[in-house]
Amino acid sequence: MRKSLMQILCCPVCKGDLVLSVTEESGEEVLEGSLRCAACRVDYPISEGIPNLLPQTACED
């Protein structure tokens, strides 16, 4: 995920601002880390450069 995407990304649940936490990067590319919503405190992982912004489901199987 490119760091420049932070300008257009928002929380898919509440549309709040996301805070980027990087654990591994290569130049402008974030390879591993997470995005955290400052408003509803939901974490979205970034794995192999791909952010998973799918909202978590309320019930689990």
In this prediction, residue 12 carries a pLDDT of 93
What are the DSSP calls for the chain, one per residue? -BGGGGGT---TTT---EEEEEEEEETTEEEEEEEEETTT--EEEEETTEE--PPPPS---
In this prediction, residue 57 carries a pLDDT of 64
In this prediction, residue 56 carries a pLDDT of 73
In this prediction, residue 35 carries a pLDDT of 97
Taking only the tens of pLDDT, the chain with its 61 residues reads 999 999 999 999 999 999 999 999 999 999 999 999 999 999 999 999 999 999 876 545 4
Ordered by start, the domain boundaries in the chain are 3-51
